[in-house]
Structure 1
Amino acid sequence: MSIRRIVFGSLLCVSGLLQANDITGVWKTIDDQTGYSRGDVTVVKNADGTYSGKLTAIRPLPYKPLVEICVKCKGKLKNTPLVGFEIMRGFKQDSKNPMEYSGGTVLDPLSGNVYKGKAKLSSTGKRLSMRGYIGVSALGRSTTWIRAE
């Protein structure tokens, strides 16, 4: 085996580990009540070091019509198309535990409500547990997002 193959293989392994420690990328959102994917969110790291995410695709639940606008949102967000809609913003990676993110907000496009948010990335980097809450984290709801391949 040549030294080039060893170096190239090592670089691929390291790049895979780096991606697993970051929430950037495309995530399939999973409805916590039905288990179906509701849409895709693309998460980016902003210049200020925070993370935000926009809906880039939406899907209907079986036997329910597809909702394409934020009907229950308030103010200027009311009736905004969901595709392109920023549903998470201001998340910061924890310096002590780089698999956890907090300090952000999450908007639920079905209820129109904005919640405080936190997220935890799985050790494999393939699942993201998103928690939206009011006041304290115990008063909230969690959903799982799955990294799109």
Structure 2
Amino acid sequence: MKTYQALTAIALSALALPALAQLTPVGTWKSVDEKTGQPKSQIVIEDQGGVLQGRVQQLLRPGADPKALCVECKDALKDQPMVGLPIIQGAKKAADKDVWEGGKILDPENGKFYTLRLTPIDGGQKLEVRGSIGPFGRTQTWVRVQ
């Protein structure tokens, strides 16, 4: 019986480790429209030497044109394809907190960049994405894609 209990404990520990390893914004996320509750896009966030970068991997809205361009974007991003568009740049992990900040996030719908804060929640299964200008901003909750 003790062998069974030991094996059960080992198996449960092995299942818990991936959950702990997920307490990071790195991964693939589904953004959700706050008004409709429908998925908008799939975003991939990568760690490049301690700095997070994110790009649109796929458009998920029903009827979305996979060849759509960022017509509201400015400068080098103007008229670039939405799929592959870099929307997160420069976020770094805050000291002693599971928060990434100091970067920028692009809202492709208006072409504006906002100050960024990323906070994994629900054991890393969701991500609070806060974009702000000064004291004004909004927070979206993205869902991790398994």
Task: Give the TM interval when normalised to the shorter protein.
Answer: 0.7 to 0.9
- TM-score under structure 2 length normalisation: 0.86
RMSD: 2.0
Q: Deviations over 1:62-81 (max 9, x none)?
A: xx764811011111211100
Q: Deviations over 1:66-123 (max 9, x none)?
A: 481101111121110011111001111222212x211110000111101111121113
Give 1:131 shift: 0.9
User: Contact between 1:59 and 1:66, CA under 8 Å: does it hold in 2?
Assistant: no
Q: How many residues matched?
A: 142
Give 1:135 shift: 2.0
Secondary structure, aligned partner of 1:16: helix
C-alpha change, 1:13 and 1:70, in structure 2 (3 Å) is same
Percent of aligned positions with the same letter in both sequences? Answer: 30
Q: Deviations over 1:29-81 (max 9, x none)?
A: 0112221111100111112x0111110000235xx764811011111211100
Q: Which stretches of structure 1, 4 residues or more, deviate above 2 A after TM superposition?
A: 1-12, 64-67
Give 1:142 shift: 1.4
* 2:119 equivalent to 1:120: yes
Structure 2: gaps of 5 or more residues: none
Give 1:12 shift: 3.2
Secondary structure, aligned partner of 2:18: helix
Letter matched to residue 27 of structure 1: W
Range with greater deviation from structure 2 (28-37 or 3-12): 3-12
- How do residues 51-130 of structure 1 correspond to structure 2 at under 5 angstroms? 51-60=52-61, 66=65, 68-98=68-98, 100-130=99-129
User: Contact between 1:32 and 1:142, CA under 8 Å: does it hold in 2?
Assistant: no
- TM-score under structure 1 length normalisation: 0.84
User: Contact between 1:87 and 1:107, CA under 8 Å: does it hold in 2?
Assistant: yes
Structure 1: gaps of 5 or more residues: none
Output the CA distance in 1 between the equivalents of 2:9 and 2:61: 46
